[in-house]
Amino acid sequence: MIDIKLIRENPELVKENIKKKFQDEKLVLVDEVKKLDEEYRGLRKKADELRATRNNISKEIGNLMKQGLKAEAEEAKAKVADIAKEIIESEAREVELEEDIRKRMLVIPNIIDASVPIGKDDSENVEIEQFGKKREFDFEIPYHVDIMEKLNGIDLDAARKTSGNGFYYLKGDIARLHSSILSYARDFMINRGFTYCIPPFMIRSDVVTGVMSFAEMENMMYKIEGEDLYLIGTSEHSMIGKFIDTILNEEDLPQTLTSYSPCFRKEVGAHGIEERGIYRIHQFEKQEMIVVCKPEDSMNWYHKLWKNTVDFFLSLDIPVRTLECCSGDLADLKVKSCDVEAWSPRQKKYFEVGSCSNLGDAQARRLKIRIKGEEGNYFAHTLNNTCVAPPRMLIAFLENNLNEDGSINIPEALRPYMGGQEKIVKK
- Per-residue model confidence as pLDDT tens for the chain (427 residues): 899 999 999 999 999 999 999 999 999 999 999 999 999 999 999 999 999 999 888 888 878 887 878 788 888 888 889 999 999 999 999 999 999 999 999 999 999 999 999 999 999 999 999 999 999 999 999 999 999 999 999 999 999 999 998 899 999 999 999 999 999 999 999 999 999 999 999 999 999 999 987 777 777 899 999 999 999 999 999 999 999 999 999 999 999 999 999 999 997 654 555 556 888 899 999 999 999 999 999 999 999 999 999 999 999 999 999 999 999 999 999 999 999 999 999 999 999 999 999 999 999 999 999 999 988 999 999 999 999 999 889 999 999 999 999 999 999 999 999 999 999 998 8
In the chain, where are the structural domains located?
4-105, 122-424
- d(CA 100, CA 112) in angstroms, rounded, equals 24
Sign of the dihedral through C-alpha 350, 147, 408, 405: negative
Distances in whole angstroms, Cα of residue 426 to Cα of each of 209, 305, 402, 413: 47, 37, 13, 22
> Under CATH, which number does the domain 4-105 receive?
1.10.287.40
Q: Give the whole-angstrom CA distance, residue 420 versus residue 422.
A: 6
CA dihedral 197, 206, 222, 339 (to 10 degrees): -60
The number of CA neighbours under 13 Å toward the Cβ of 391 is 26
Torsion sign over Cα 108, 113, 114, 116:
negative
Residue 189 CB: number of other CB atoms within 10 A?
Answer: 24
CATH of domain 122-424: 3.30.930.10
Q: For residues 25 and 14, what is the distance between their CA atoms, to the nearest angstrom? A: 13
Residues sharing a CB contact under 8 Å with residue 180, sequence separation 6 or more, in sequence order: 414, 417, 418
Query: What span, in angstroms and rounded, lies between the C-alpha atoms of 277 and 279?
Result: 6
4-105 and 122-424: identical CATH topology? no
Query: Residue 76 burial (CB < 10 Å; 0-12/13-18/19+)?
Result: buried
Element (H, E) at 379: strand 376-379
pTM for the full predicted model? 0.90
Cα–Cα distance for residue pair 123/414, rounded to 1 Å: 35
